[in-house]
Structure 1
Amino acid sequence: MAENLKGCSVPCKLSWDDLEDACRRYRVTCQDLNVNRNNLDDYEVQFLCDYKKDKFTDEELYLVKWRGYPESDNSWEPKRNLKCAKLIKEFHSDLEQELRRQKKRVIPKRLNKDISLVLTQKAKHRLSLQRWEDHLNKNRNHPGRILVLNEVDFEGPPKDFNYINNCKVGQGIVLTEMALGCECKNCLEEPMNGCCPGASLHRMAYNDRGQVRIRPGQPIYECNAGCCCGPDCPNRIVQKGIQFDLCIFKTGNGRGWGVRSLQHIKKNVFVMEYVGEIITTDEAEKRGHQYDRQGSTYLFDLDYVEDVYTVDAAHQGNISHFVNHSCNPNLQVFNVFIDNIDERIPRIGLFSTRAIRAGEELTFDYKMQIDPVDTESTRMDTSFILAGIPSSPKKRVRVECRCGSDTCRKYLF
């Protein structure tokens, strides 16, 4: 019975605050909640809920929500007793923003209930996003950090999304075609028998700066676990994971969450891999109709040589789950093969098409088209034309495009 329940989980009905409160009440330590023996009895400011000035002394007072204690224990504290300059600054920034929204110029000596309610809601929302950000960074296995930002509304973390670093194989799918390793001492300068790309009758995909140098539509064969070369081999790029700090942010034009780079990215470099659950196209067809009704889809057809498998990142994926479409994108899809060389199941690498500024949103074309290239790879290119299109049965709901580019096609599909 226990074996059948392995891997099963159910959502907790208590909030993080309630769990932390329970830990302190029953004196239980929890590493994930940051409750330990040293701080069990501490009173730490979690956020500020309200503000007023004493009518006699004009002293500033704040209503404090204490970490790990219920809101019934909130208390008014003078500013001089508080050692939380960052929280005070955030509180006044939120307060000024709300007063501007209500077209009020002066901070009143006592806030009305509507304003204090909004400030409490903002503080709780910020805390929720910070916990999500911490969770994402705890679960990532790549160097690039993840930040989360929402300055648009009060939408919080997705409730049914699990961050994973590598694709998970769905039920009934078995990876069997494992790559043979190369024996090169220097894969880029002295490739023996063409190294791993040569063994598959293709050229090396990267230059000495780690930039992709082949045209879209041609495959990338990286060195693998069976190779004699080490982890610093220049033919190991995608497998090293995301190298840049990225930010998941809420867009202001109805496109939901998006991703922007926090660092400058050069042209033709690897940015991220599209990760999710590998499923059959029959299963993708079923899920596609459900996603259509929800108004979104995260199905990515693996049409490199055969239309057999699809990557579904709806509920399991990495940061690529949040990357939006653009008709003029700055990311380009490449099919990548590393340990598994089954051409029906490539890994999906997203590379920069041009230099990307820090702060610029990352996008790729959900319906990309690949220009024909040399005859050496005609078979691959003709089957690759649809490789970047999320699964698209004949009858699909037309989704309006809001990318805003000059070449916008108006619709995603």
Structure 2
Amino acid sequence: MLLDYKYNIMYFEWITVLGRWLIRQIGTEYYLVKWKGWPESSNTWEPQKNLKCPLLLQNFLSDKNEYLSRMREGKALKVRNHVKALKPAVADYIVKKAKQRIALQRWKEELNRKKNHKAMILVENTVDLEGPPLDFYYINEYKPAPGINVINGITTGCECTDCPAEKCCPKEAGFILAYNKRKKLKIQPGLPIYECNSFCRCGPDCPNRIVQKGTPYSLCIFRTNNGRGWGVKTLQKIKTNSFVMEYVGEVITSEEAERRGQLYDNQGNTYLFDLDYDSDEFTVDAARYGNVSHFVNHSCDPNLQVFNVFIDNLDLRLPRIALFSTRTIKAGEELTFDYQMKGSIDLTADSADGLSPSKKRIRTVCKCGAVCCRGYLN
């Protein structure tokens, strides 16, 4: 062994336990240890007395017991309480689970580095060995395709010192202020939200600056246990009519959305959101670029509602998409919205005729489990 033993003793708190085989040598249990910063070829067997890493040991025991429990439930394995060595399948699972845990931790750290709001993003998978998505990139705002301008060069804002006033942004646009004094939504679905912009005289505490501040709630991206992939749950109580998050992604033309939609249909994915407030020229594609909303699942009985928002871009073809709570949401509850939900004034009924061309080809079976489930996502 080329490692200096004393040197590595100093770094026991950073080791990763990849597997454990109980080897009865003079009554001592040995653990196979992967050293941080060293290849697996440098793994060593160590007695438990050398391991100063209670959390890693706890994770190891938890993973082992979880695997054995599943095997018992499936009647695929008869497990004795005392064994001299772990079966290869158990050891392999523990190794994969430990690597997954490291990958998810690094992904969580990456998400929290890239987000532009104060609330935390957690990641959790207690269901399977799925790790972070390989082809997903976190962004905080729209990523326009070449030739599309999501900032229309607005150079003026309200002169209010105490919004809302007679000349405030929503009233100038012909609508009422969207929020009440408690900063909760007070308008009906289908009406737009006009927030104060970067040229307005009002400061950051203006009651008409809500969506632009980002989500105020700590959220958790978690693995669902019923085949719906990843989902999102809130870690805090959310009151009715509260802003929760924006839906962001690549802004592409409807023609490009039609082309991509054919590919997504074959994969069983649904990430295209039509910006149809005033027209159907553009679509938001959150398949590769997006924020936490990328992982929010569909429900036919959702707890989030879509609203169109205008801040620094007043182009009616390119609203920002905000998700607000429709009711009180308890901490730990999954967040969902209706993939057929419209944010435009034209609140047509849910039907094939009301869907964009990119959503008409292949019907995806819905797994939301709601009493009022329509049976399909589109």
State if a TM-score over 0.5 links the two structures: yes
**Structural mapping, 1:152-167, within 5 Å:** 152-167=127-142
Question: What CA deviation, in whole Å up to 9, does each residue of 1:371-395 have, x standing for no partner?
Answer: xxxxxxxxx6127879xx8854374
- Residue identity matched to 2:122: L
Instruction: Name which of 367, 381, 393 aligns with 2:340.
Output: 367
Structure 2: distance between partners of 1:313 and 1:226: 29
SS of the residue corresponding to residue 116 of structure 1 reads: helix
TM-score (norm 2): 0.90
Structure 2: distance between partners of 1:307 and 1:257: 29
Partner of 1:32: none
Instruction: Name which of 70, 76, 90 aligns with 1:101.
Output: 70
Partner of 2:17: 47
Structure 2: distance between partners of 1:192 and 1:299: 38
Partner of 1:74: 43
TM-score (norm 1): 0.83
- Residue identity matched to 2:362: V
Structure 2: distance between partners of 1:199 and 1:179: 15
Partner of 2:31: 62
**Structural mapping, 1:9-408, within 5 Å:** 42=11, 44-56=14-26, 58-103=27-72, 104-174=79-149, 175-176=151-152, 178=154, 180-188=156-164, 191-193=165-167, 195-368=168-341, 381-382=345-346, 391-393=356-358, 395-408=360-373
Structure 2, unmatched stretches of 5+, are 73-78
Partner of 1:13: none
1:50/1:116 contact within 8 Å kept: yes
Question: What CA deviation, in whole Å up to 9, does each residue of 1:257-314 have, x standing for no partner?
Answer: 1111111111100000000011111111111111111111211000001111111111
Structure 1, unmatched stretches of 5+, are 1-24, 26-37, 371-379
Q: Name the CA shift for 1:160/1:384 in 2 (closer, same or farther; >3 Å).
A: farther
Structure 2: distance between partners of 1:335 and 1:368: 12
Identify which range, 342-351 or 73-82, moves more after superposition: 73-82
1:400/1:410 contact within 8 Å kept: yes
Structure 2: distance between partners of 1:363 and 1:179: 36
Structure 1: distance between partners of 2:166 and 2:288: 42
2:272/2:284 contact within 8 Å kept: yes
- Residue identity matched to 1:54: R
- Residue identity matched to 2:142: C
Question: What CA deviation, in whole Å up to 9, does each residue of 1:170-224 have, x standing for no partner?
Answer: 1111232526211111104xx142x110110110000111100000000000011
Structure 1: distance between partners of 2:105 and 2:356: 33
Structure 1: distance between partners of 2:320 and 2:219: 21
Q: Name the CA shift for 1:359/1:349 in 2 (closer, same or farther; >3 Å).
A: same
2:261/2:359 contact within 8 Å kept: no
Q: Name the CA shift for 1:393/1:96 in 2 (closer, same or farther; >3 Å).
A: closer
Q: Name the CA shift for 1:138/1:367 in 2 (closer, same or farther; >3 Å).
A: same
- Residue identity matched to 1:126: R
SS of the residue corresponding to residue 371 of structure 2 reads: coil
Cα-Cα RMSD: 2.2
SS of the residue corresponding to residue 327 of structure 1 reads: coil
SS of the residue corresponding to residue 248 of structure 1 reads: strand
SS of the residue corresponding to residue 57 of structure 2 reads: helix
Q: Name the CA shift for 1:392/1:404 in 2 (closer, same or farther; >3 Å).
A: farther
1:177/1:342 contact within 8 Å kept: no
SS of the residue corresponding to residue 245 of structure 2 reads: strand
SS of the residue corresponding to residue 313 of structure 2 reads: coil
SS of the residue corresponding to residue 54 of structure 1 reads: strand
Question: What CA deviation, in whole Å up to 9, does each residue of 1:226-252 have, x standing for no partner?
Answer: 011111111100000011111111111
Aligned residues: 361
Partner of 1:412: 377
Structure 2: distance between partners of 1:215 and 1:259: 25
SS of the residue corresponding to residue 123 of structure 2 reads: strand
Identify which range, 234-243 or 102-111, moves more after superposition: 102-111
- Residue identity matched to 2:138: Y
Q: Name the CA shift for 1:395/1:185 in 2 (closer, same or farther; >3 Å).
A: closer
Structure 1: distance between partners of 2:105 and 2:264: 28
Structure 1: distance between partners of 2:126 and 2:230: 11
Structure 1: distance between partners of 2:80 and 2:182: 54
Q: Name the CA shift for 1:381/1:395 in 2 (closer, same or farther; >3 Å).
A: closer
